[in-house]
Structure 1
Amino acid sequence: MTGRRTPHLPSQGAELGTAAPFVPRLGDLAADTARSGRIGVVVTLPGEDSATTYHLRPPGGGPAWSAPADGSTLHPVPAQITHATLLPGRDAVYDQRARQGSVPVEFHFEDGSTREGSLVLTSAELERLYTQTSRLLDIHENALGDDA
């Protein structure tokens, strides 16, 4: 043993996790836990223009507020998902034991990024999806008939 404290042990007061701490930059969206999760755009950094705290302003404008210089109350605001599409070349699977199906999808975020995932459906949800997609196919076929 080296006698050094090991920061990843919860008994020593450090939180578990491997994520790097959030260090806001100018223009980042941040949720401020000291303000009930209020979301703001970082408009001034500590040390910039003799500021001793972060300054945030609501995304649509409005009065700015301050957050501690250590950023301890600020958390990143993830990009929101805009839609999901089927992953090409990947088939859905059904797990008989769990009685659920899994459809491979790609999630598209408002910042243009994507991430692969799965749409997991119970038997009842599979039946509902079948009914809804069948209705959409009927509408599509009728629209094709109207174009002829």
Structure 2
Amino acid sequence: MSGRPTPHLPSQGAELGTAAPFSPQLGDLAADTAKDGRVGVVVTLPGEGGATYHLRPPGGGPEWSAPADASTLEPVPARPTHATLLVTDPVYDPRAKQGSVAILVHHEDGGRSEAALILTSADLERLHTQTGRMLGDSERSPGEAP
């Protein structure tokens, strides 16, 4: 997770993974585990014209209810948009026959999180070939035939 509040989760005061319970507020996106993880926008809170949470699909559609204790509701994290390499040394594990490079995952809310990209020997060979081709292409001047 990005560790900061997200525009679509205005009520999130704590980073996910902590003991803080999820208490959705109006406008939050929530996944309802009782509805196979269906995602909805909270449109009514318990006690504000109803005894349950009311959710509606983000693009519109029929509303549904969720328990007032929010026991079936989970926050919807911001989606990753892309990843970039961190400036660290890669690590190769000969026993596992795989390498690891540190990456920074960028999220649609502007947040970032660090992760590891794990590559098998075959992945490393393919990546070497592909990056070699990209480097060759970048060294050619525009309009020059390959």
Could you say which residue in structure 1 is the equivalent of 2:128? Answer: 130
Q: Is 1:63 equivalent to 2:62 in the alignment?
A: yes
Whole-Å separation in 1 of the counterparts to 2:137 and 2:25: 48
Amino acid at match of 1:30: A
Structure 1, gaps ≥5 residues long? 1-16
Match of 2:27 in 1: 27
Whether 1:107 and 2:102 are equivalent positions in the alignment is no
Structure with higher Rg: it is 1
Q: Could you say which residue in structure 2 is the equivalent of 1:7?
A: none
TM-score by length of 2: 0.80
Q: Is the partner of 2:23 in helix, strand or coil?
A: coil
Deviations 1:2-33 (A, max 9, x none): xxxxxxxxxxxxxxx85322211221111112
Give aligned pairs, total. Answer: 128
**CA deviation digits over 1:77-110, x for unaligned, max 9?**
111111000113x121212232211111100011
Q: Which segments of 5 or more consecutive residues in structure 2 lack a partner in the other structure?
A: 1-16
After TM superposition, list the pairs within 5 Å mapping 1:1-148 onto structure 2: 19-48=19-48, 50-88=49-87, 90-142=88-140, 145-146=141-142
Q: What SS does structure 2 have at the residue aligned with 1:104? A: strand
In 1, the alpha carbon distance for the partners of 2:55 and 2:95 equals: 50
Aligned counterparts of 2:142 and 2:127: Cα–Cα separation in 1: 26
For 1:3, the equivalent position in structure 2 comes to none
CA distance in 2 between counterparts of 1:69 and 1:107 reads: 35
Q: Distance in 2 between matches of 1:19 and 1:147?
A: 58
Amino acid at match of 1:91: D
Letter in 2 for 1:140: S
CA RMSD of aligned residues (A): 1.8
Structure with bigger helix share is 1
